[in-house]
Structure 1
Amino acid sequence: MKKIQLNYKIWIESNDQKGIMGDGKWQILKAIEKHGSLMAATEALGITYRKTWGDLKEIEKALGFPLLDKNRGGKEGGSSCLTPQGRELVRAFDEFHHNADKVIEKEFDIFLSKINSIEIPAE
């Protein structure tokens, strides 16, 4: 049998099936936390500031709490750091993703053992 591998994505969405957060937005929030500004985070990730700003506003609207504390630029430039709620969202998604990964990988191993035991008739 040819080698196969597991590939999947995890995201959360609203009841009307509008995406709220997945790996991409999770990485954006982590990059903001790391780099200390939305601009630096978008530059590091190679994504557009404007779209990212809109995405973050959509998450805030869907979840009902602010993600960023923003300080306008001055001599040193602006900064954006995660609110306590934003940090908690990142931590919760980290934990959720880690736990889901373990379960999915275990189930994939079970799946592989089942398909590897399928007898292939001789030709």
Structure 2
Amino acid sequence: MTHDAAELGVGGSVWFQAGARQLGGAARIGLLDAIRATGSITGAAKAVGMSYKGAWDAIDAMNNLAGEALVLRATGGKGGGGTTLTPRALRLIETYRTIEHEHGRFLERAARLLAGGDRAEGTTAENADENADENAGQSGFERDLAMLGRFAMRTSARNQLFGTVTGIVRGAVNDEVSMALPGGEAIVATVTHESVEMLALGEGAPVVALVKATSIVLVADAADAARLSARNRLSGTVEVLRRGAVNADVSIVLPGGAVLAAIVTEASVEALGLVIGKPATAVFKASSVLLGAAG
């Protein structure tokens, strides 16, 4: 009796891992690459099989997590072209593609070993090139890896903001963690002491703040916001206003470039007189902020 044996092969894909947690990255890098190729959000979204809104949400998340602009928004509405990537985004794509390339070379060598082929470690010239690549620009490469790890976080929170811890006030049960966004805005989070220890947070540590869009209250007048008890009050300008039958999806761009999304009722939009280009303040409690270790 004979059996047909399938040929043994080697396959795999690139992802990033932090401890026991596996991180992705390919989908968002693919979106950036599609924007570079098509020059528009609409074209890029179609190319990667994503909705237009989903693409913009991913871009806002990437810009916030990067702490700097990666995608420069074009004017002219939904169908407008001319969307471009910043040099930082272009380098990030190349970093990821380099990792993919080296991973592919590894799989090819592993496949040859399984097939009983060439077992050599590589030529002297090849090794010299690899050593040169390893020594050149290492700090920038490490920064790219940390950013790619932040991109791969899976969370239901619409708002993902990258920043740096500026101070921690210890408490018996909860700690108050202050962080600064790259644009200078400050966020305060109240989390358990155990969470601070688990995330190894300290002054200067990179951190990601997660805030649900439904946890944000909008105020049209910054002076009115100052009278509220919520610790976090971030003022900016209404950039996107998507209205529905009951609720509206509002995006506010902060002076430093970060974008905050809020879900409010249609009645609130009318009462506040919210329109694109009008100032507004996002207000949310410190207890509504979740923290994640970055990089």
TM-score surpassing 0.5? Answer: yes
Q: Which range moves more in the overlay, 57-66 or 100-109?
A: 57-66
Q: TM-score, normalised by structure 1?
A: 0.71
Cα separation, partners in 2 of 1:113 and 1:56, compared to 1, 3 Å: farther
Residue 67 of structure 1 deviates from its aligned partner by 1.4
The question of 1:72 aligning with 2:75 is answered yes
Count of paired positions: 112
In structure 2, C-alpha distance between the alignment counterparts of 1:49 and 1:19, rounded to whole Å: 24
* Distance apart, 1:51 and its partner CA: 1.9
Alpha-carbon deviation of 1:48?
1.3
Give 1:16 deviation, angstroms.
8.7
List 4+ stretches of structure 1 deviating above 6 A: none
Within the candidate set 10, 14, 34, 1:10 is matched to 14
Of structures 1 and 2, the one with the larger relative CO (CA 8 A, separation 6+) is 1
Offset at residue 84 of structure 1 (A): 0.8
Give, as a single letter, the amino acid of the residue that structure 2 aligns with 1:40: G
**Over the residues paired in the alignment, what is the CA RMSD in angstroms?**
2.7
Contact 2:36 2:84 in 1 (8 A): yes
Q: Does 1:93 align with 2:96?
A: yes
* Pair member with larger Rg: 2
Match of 2:53 among 50, 54, 66: 50
Q: Distance in 1 between matches of 2:37 and 2:63?
A: 20
Unaligned runs of 5+ in 2: 118-295
User: Alpha-carbon deviations, 1:55-99, whole Å to 9, x = none?
Assistant: 23333333333210112216x824321111011111111112111
Q: Decide whether the 8 Å contact of 2:72 with 2:83 is kept in 1.
A: yes
Name the counterpart of 1:40: 43
Percent identity, aligned pairs only, is 21
More helix per residue: 1
Q: Tell me the SS of whatever aligns to 1:47.
A: coil
Report the structure, 1 or 2, having the larger strand content. Answer: 2
Q: How far apart, CA to CA, are the structure 2 residues paired with 1:13 and 1:79?
A: 35
